[in-house]
Amino acid sequence: MSLPWPAPTPDGPVRGTVSVPGSKSVTNRALLLSGLAYGRSTVHGVPGTRDSALMCGALRSLGLAVEVDGETVTIDGGTLKGGGAVDCGLAGTVMRFVPPAATLADGAVVFDGDPHARERPMSTVLDALRALGAVVDGDRLPFVLHGAGGLTGGDVTIDASASSQFVSGLLLSGARYDKGVTVHHDGKPVPSLPHIEMTVAMLREAGVVVDDPESSGEANTWRVEPGPIAARTWAVEPDLSNASVFLAAAAATGGEVTVAGWPAGSTQPGAEILDVLARMGATVTSTAAGMRVAGGDLHGVDVDLHEASELTPTVAALAALADGPSVIRGVAHIRGHETDRLAALRTELAALGAEVEETADGLAIRPAPLAATDRPWGAYADHRMATAGAIVGLRVRGLTVDDVACTDKTIPDFPGRWAALVS
Please choose, from the candidates 78, 43, 46, the residue with its C-alpha nearest in 3D space to the C-alpha of residue 59. 78
Q: With contact defined as beta carbons under 8 Å apart, do 335 and 343 qualify?
A: yes
Query: What backbone phi and psi angles, to 5 degrees, belong to 90?
Result: -120, 25
Is residue 326 part of an annotated ligand binding site? no
Helix (H, G, I), strand (E, B) or coil at 2: coil
Task: Report in angstroms the alpha-carbon separations of 69 from 72, 387, 417.
Answer: 5, 28, 22
Q: With contact defined as beta carbons under 8 Å apart, do 310 and 240 qualify?
A: no
Is residue 165 part of an annotated ligand binding site? yes
The pLDDT of 340-359, averaged and rounded, is 98
The pLDDT of 195-204, averaged and rounded, is 97
The pLDDT of 39-58, averaged and rounded, is 96
Task: Report in angstroms the alpha-carbon separations of 377 from 62, 235, 368, 374, 403.
Answer: 39, 36, 17, 9, 9
Q: Convert the pLDDT of each residue in 276-319 to its tens digit.
A: 999 999 999 999 999 999 999 999 999 999 999 999 999 999 99
CATH topology of 5-21+239-422 equal to that of 24-213? Answer: yes
Is residue 188 part of an annotated ligand binding site? no
**CA terminus-to-terminus distance, the chain:** 24
More confidently predicted of 266 and 80: 80
Provide the pairing of β-strand 15-18 with 256-259: parallel
The pLDDT of 244-253, averaged and rounded, is 98
Q: How far is CA 82 from the centre of its chain?
A: 28
The pLDDT of 15-27, averaged and rounded, is 96
Q: With contact defined as beta carbons under 8 Å apart, do 71 and 412 qualify?
A: no
Query: pTM for the whole thing?
Result: 0.86
Q: With contact defined as beta carbons under 8 Å apart, do 55 and 172 qualify?
A: no
The pLDDT of 261-272, averaged and rounded, is 93
The pLDDT of 213-237, averaged and rounded, is 95
Kindly list the domain boundaries of the chain, sorted by start residue. 5-21+239-422, 24-213
In DSSP terms, which residues pair with 185 in a beta bridge? Answer: 158
Residue 62 confidence (pLDDT) above 70: yes
Active centre residues (catalytic): 310
The pLDDT of 333-357, averaged and rounded, is 95
Mean pLDDT, all residues of the chain: 96
DSSP secondary structure letters along 205-254: HTT--EE-HHHH--TTEEEE-S------EEEPPB-HHHHHHHHHHHHHHT
Half-sphere exposure of 318 (CA within 13 A, CB side): 34
pLDDT at position 224, please?
98
Is residue 337 part of an annotated ligand binding site? yes
Is residue 310 part of an annotated ligand binding site? yes
The pLDDT of 154-175, averaged and rounded, is 96
Is residue 52 part of an annotated ligand binding site? no
Amino acid at residue number 319: A
pLDDT at position 217, please?
87
Residue 1 confidence (pLDDT) above 60: no
pLDDT at position 233, please?
98
Q: How far is CA 185 from the centre of its chain?
A: 21
State the helix-helix crossing angle for 165-174 and 92-102, rounded to 10 degrees.
Answer: 30
Is residue 25 part of an annotated ligand binding site? yes
Q: Convert the pLDDT of each residue in 93-144 to its tens digit.
A: 999 999 999 999 999 999 999 998 999 889 999 999 999 999 999 999 999 9
Query: Residues 406, 408, 413, CA angle at the centre, nearest 5°?
Result: 115
Count of all residues that appear for the chain in the document: 423
pLDDT at position 121, please?
87
Confidence of residue 197 (pLDDT cuts 50, 70, 90): very high
Helix (H, G, I), strand (E, B) or coil at 39: strand
Buried/exposed code over 307-335 (b: 16+ C-beta within 10 A; e: otherwise): bbbbbbbbbbbbbbbbeeebbbbbbbbbe
Residue 271 confidence (pLDDT) above 90: yes
CATH class of 24-213: alpha beta
Please choose, from the candidates 81, 68, 76, the residue with its C-alpha nearest in 3D space to the C-alpha of residue 40. 76
Residue 237 confidence (pLDDT) above 90: yes
Task: Report in angstroms the alpha-carbon separations of 264 from 52, 240, 241, 274, 290.
Answer: 24, 12, 16, 13, 10
Is residue 329 part of an annotated ligand binding site? no
Residue 2 confidence (pLDDT) above 70: no
Task: Report in angstroms the alpha-carbon separations of 269 from 25, 35, 302.
Answer: 10, 25, 18
Is residue 164 part of an annotated ligand binding site? yes
Q: Please tell me the distance from the alpha carbon of residue 174 to that of residue 158, in angstroms, as a whole number.
A: 15
Residue 194 confidence (pLDDT) above 70: yes
Is residue 24 part of an annotated ligand binding site? yes
Please choose, from the candidates 72, 21, 75, the residue with its C-alpha nearest in 3D space to the C-alpha of residue 44. 72
Amino acid at residue number 146: H
Query: What backbone phi and psi angles, to 5 degrees, belong to 236?
Result: -95, 130
Please choose, from the candidates 88, 87, 39, 44, the residue with its C-alpha nearest in 3D space to the C-alpha of residue 64. 39
Q: To the nearest whole percent, how much of the chain has pLDDT over 90?
A: 93
Is residue 292 part of an annotated ligand binding site? no
pLDDT at position 176, please?
98
Question: Which CATH code of 3.30.1180.20, 3.40.50.150, 3.30.390.50, 3.65.10.10 fits the domain covering 5-21+239-422?
Answer: 3.65.10.10
